[in-house]
Amino acid sequence: MRTFPAGQLHDLGVELFVACGAPDAEAEAVAAHLVEASLMGIDSHGVVRYIWYVEQCLAGRIHPGARVQVLRDGGHVALVDCAMNFGQIGAGFMVDLVRERARDGGIAFATSRHCHHVGRLGAYPQALAEAGLFGFAVANSQRHGHFVVPWGGREGRLATNPLAWAAPTAGRPMLLDMSTSMTPEGKVRTALHAGQQLPEGQILDADGLPTTDPGAFYGNGDGPPEGAILPFGGELGYRGFGLGLLVEVLGASIAGVPLGAAEPAVAGDVPYINGFSLLAIAPGAVTGDGDRFAMLTEELRAYVTSSPVAPGHEEVILPGEREFRTLDQRQNDGIPLPPETCRLINTVAEKLGVRANL
Amino acid sequence: MRTFPAGQLHDLGVELFVACGAPDAEAEAVAAHLVEASLMGIDSHGVVRYIWYVEQCLAGRIHPGARVQVLRDGGHVALVDCAMNFGQIGAGFMVDLVRERARDGGIAFATSRHCHHVGRLGAYPQALAEAGLFGFAVANSQRHGHFVVPWGGREGRLATNPLAWAAPTAGRPMLLDMSTSMTPEGKVRTALHAGQQLPEGQILDADGLPTTDPGAFYGNGDGPPEGAILPFGGELGYRGFGLGLLVEVLGASIAGVPLGAAEPAVAGDVPYINGFSLLAIAPGAVTGDGDRFAMLTEELRAYVTSSPVAPGHEEVILPGEREFRTLDQRQNDGIPLPPETCRLINTVAEKLGVRANL
């Protein structure tokens, strides 16, 4: 696998998105987001998305440059129209909004309509933590992504519905970014193409029976899934189901969007990809001491990581630490891209008259 | 096991807490909370707690009637001194506070200091959901409850750190109330006393090795734990660890309380049991339509529960539904109490000059 300097991939992303019609600053923001995800090792949400994003622009499903705006402003709660611009633009607007309002009044919550793919969910609470705030985010997906069964069920009713939170420390933030299902669909397809079995306890076949065979998930072909993914938690999967529902309720129902419903309740409602919501709390407004929060989370970090390591493990690290280390390493060594990803990026670039040279 | 009418146990609880010095209304509130937990089948947080609560009152660790007050008021964020009154009184004060302020401004968050045991965590977001709001709560515990290892570690660094959320539907609320560890310590001790093994993947022995033997958790005696409990999630336990840290950060660090720290950073800081925090969001303030949220969550309920049942399961139900059914059943049939629980309640009652007659 060849590796590429982050700067080269960033510049290419900017060129692609500008060619799609994005204003310079927005193209920069989207490319920076995707390159950072690749740097952190979250390749599924990284530079590989250049392909789909360009295709979505060409198909008129992403509206580069569309005006993101507050639809309804409650002061500390806001409903934001992300206008089917790149999801990163809508979500970035919401980061700025809740950051400023939480600094003013201690807390702010924003939720979205018409939001495209927000990419790496953890990026948004991370940005809040880097500003000294506590951040929490959820993102559900529209119905076509409902591969995850409710606890006890055998038909998908939720998407992989990630949640993420972050808090500042003396160093890099604590950062949890997790799906509420056992696995993303992407990993099932990867296993299928690689001819590999999945670990036990992740998927059901078309009859609702446990299987480790990705082919059984796809109805023994390569078509649309006929099986389903289990909620996070194994024998305690009702908890993961409850967390997935939390993401659905907080990412969609609260914004007035009938995402989980069998049919849209609002006639003529336009499509979306992620129902994204974001909460910010300013700890300084709670205690009156703006520095105390990061001091305490740093003490917590030291205390938690002071646990001796259990047999079979290598170290005790905070959520997010592994990704930040990968970021440091890939900033030096470059971002690896599989040949097929390079080929597909070259192909979509060509459609835009851009020479990608990957 | 004998069963008792809820009303009888309620009246007894009121009499006990009044005898401890609680004002009538506060004794009523605490008894009602504990009886409801028993009705819902959450016996570990129910009437059995009469014993410990009375003992804590007699030892001067619960301060019945102590004045709960806002220490610092940021409007939509508040720091509340629960004054070591019964945890239910402090937490109930916080429910009233965030409910009113979320109705005014769309959102409110309260966190606590000096909070005793809040009991069934789900009760608080449930109360918000019954008022039409979205509710989210966390509760950490002070250091003596740190049985849960960080991912990869073998010494406890977090408590079982539950989180809970609730939302209204057309019927009873959706209500998730979950620990972020594989099991509470109470279940390990119950297994020890019953001579039973635990399921795999829940605990570590004193050497940090997986075990199913509760005796190995207690150092092969009945003393203080030498083993530890694993975070929720099995092979994906780093997620449960990250959720446990969320509870710690949001339940304690944000209130300025150094709960996870090896030594209290604030000299003279008084004890507490739970670091409790509560968030309320008024969906009507987000969309401008106060009824829309419960309409959409009801659609979501219908959609999710329409999944066919998987082999090996009996039905698909929402989080909380099982507990609400138990509540209906026990309101008719009474609350079962083991003989030992009856004996211990009778004994603490006698210390107060109350005849419990259980």
CA neighbours within 13 Å on the CB side: how many for A345? 21
pLDDT of residue B259: 63
* Residue B60 forms contact with A (CB below 8 Å): no
Query: What's the CA gap between B256 and B266, in Å, rounded?
Result: 9
Residues B73 and B53 in one domain: no
A187 in a structural domain: no
* Residue B58 forms contact with A (CB below 8 Å): no
- Residue B190 C-alpha, separation from nearest chain A C-alpha, in angstroms: 19
Nearest to A242 among B176, B303, B315 (CB): B176
**Residue in B closest to A249 by C-alpha:** B297
Q: Give the phi and the psi of residue A67 in degrees, each rounded to 5.
A: -80, 115
pLDDT of residue A143: 78
Query: Does pLDDT of B265 surpass 80?
Result: no
Q: How many CB atoms lie within 10 A of CB A325?
A: 14
Residues A330 and A262 in one domain: no
Query: Does pLDDT of A261 surpass 70?
Result: no
We report the CATH number of the domain holding residue A30 as 1.10.1530.10
CB contact set of B342 (below 8 Å; sequence gap of 6+): B2, B356, B358
We report the CATH number of the domain holding residue A141 as 3.30.1370.60
Residues B147 and B269 in one domain: yes
pLDDT of residue B267: 46
Q: In chain A, what residues touch B262 (CB-CB under 8 Å)?
A: 299, 303, 306
pLDDT of residue A181: 98
Query: What's the CA gap between A356 and A213, in Å, rounded?
Result: 37
Nearest to A261 among B176, B256, B299 (CB): B299
Residues 227-266 of B with CB under 8 A from A: 232-236, 238-239, 241-243, 245-246, 248-250, 252-258, 260-262, 265
Residues B171 and B144 in one domain: yes
With contact defined as beta carbons under 8 Å apart, do A229 and A181 qualify? yes
With contact defined as beta carbons under 8 Å apart, do A50 and A34 qualify? yes
| Mean pLDDT rounded to a whole number for chain B | 93
Query: Does pLDDT of A185 surpass 90?
Result: no
Q: Is the dihedral of CA A148, A153, A157, A162 positive or negative?
A: negative
Residues B113 and B160 in one domain: yes
B160-170: pLDDT as tens digits? 999 999 999 99
Residues B19 and B110 in one domain: no
B295 in a structural domain: yes
Q: How many CB atoms lie within 10 A of CB B149?
A: 30
pLDDT band at A224 (very low <50, low <70, confident <90, very high): confident
B13 in a structural domain: yes
Nearest to A154 among B77, B310, B317 (CB): B310
Enter the pTM of the model. Answer: 0.96
Quote ipTM for the complex. 0.96
Partners of B181 in beta bridges: B231
**Total structural domains within chain A:** 2
pLDDT of residue B100: 97
Residue with tokens 């529960």: B305
Query: What's the CA gap between A281 and A101, in Å, rounded?
Result: 9
Print the domain residue range for A55.
Answer: 1-64+321-358
Query: Does pLDDT of A269 surpass 60?
Result: no
Residues B72 and B61 in one domain: no
Query: What's the CA gap between A124 and A126, in Å, rounded?
Result: 5
Q: Do B153 and A308 touch (CB under 8 A)?
A: yes
Q: How many helices (H) and strands (E) does chain B have?
A: 12, 12
Query: What's the CA gap between B324 and B268, in Å, rounded?
Result: 43
Residues B148 and B235 in one domain: yes
Q: In chain B, what residues touch A306 (CB-CB under 8 Å)?
A: 157, 262
Query: What's the CA gap between A300 and B187, in Å, rounded?
Result: 27
pLDDT band at A223 (very low <50, low <70, confident <90, very high): low
Q: In chain B, what residues touch A314 (CB-CB under 8 Å)?
A: 152
Residues 20-49 of B with CB under 8 A from A: none
CA angle (B311 as vertex; B202, A202 as ends), nearest 5:
50
- Residue A298 C-alpha, separation from nearest chain B C-alpha, in angstroms: 9
| Distance from the Cα of residue B216 to its chain's centroid | 27
B208-243: pLDDT as tens digits? 999 999 999 887 666 677 899 999 999 999 999 999
Query: Does pLDDT of B264 surpass 60?
Result: no
Residues B282 and B341 in one domain: no
Residues B107 and B169 in one domain: yes
Q: How many CB atoms lie within 10 A of CB B340?
A: 10
Q: How many CB atoms lie within 10 A of CB A76?
A: 29
Q: Which of B351, B321, B2, B353 is nearest to B174 (CA)?
A: B321
Assign A301 to helix, strand or coil.
helix
Q: Do A153 and B313 touch (CB under 8 A)?
A: yes
Question: Residue A75 class from Cβ within 10 Å (0-12 exposed, 13-18 middle, 19+ buried)?
Answer: middle
R_g (Cα) of chain A, nearest Å = 21
Q: How many CB atoms lie within 10 A of CB A136?
A: 24
B110 in a structural domain: yes
From start to end of chain A, where are the E strands?
2-4, 69-73, 77-81, 107-113, 134-141, 163-167, 174-178, 203-204, 210-211, 228-229, 274-281, 335-337
Among B265, B282, B306, the domain boundary falls at: B306
B188 in a structural domain: no
Residues B41 and B74 in one domain: no
pLDDT of residue A290: 86
Partners of A141 in beta bridges: A274
B11 in a structural domain: yes
B206 in a structural domain: no
Query: Does pLDDT of B261 surpass 60?
Result: no
- Mean pLDDT, residues B10-22 taken together: 98
Copy the structure tokens of residue A347: 């192909």
Residues A176 and A39 in one domain: no
pLDDT band at A134 (very low <50, low <70, confident <90, very high): very high
pLDDT of residue A190: 84
Query: What's the CA gap between B190 and B208, in Å, rounded?
Result: 21
pLDDT of residue A78: 98
Alpha-carbon separation of residue B338 from A333, B3, B238 (angstroms): 64, 9, 37
B142 in a structural domain: yes
Q: Which of B140, B136, B138, B139 is nearest to B174 (CA)?
A: B136
CB pairs under 8 A between A and B: 289
CB contact set of B65 (below 8 Å; sequence gap of 6+): B21, B22, B23, B26, B85
pLDDT band at A266 (very low <50, low <70, confident <90, very high): very low
Partners of A231 in beta bridges: A181
Query: Does pLDDT of B286 surpass 80?
Result: yes
- Mean pLDDT, residues B29-44 taken together: 97
With contact defined as beta carbons under 8 Å apart, do B169 and A325 qualify? no
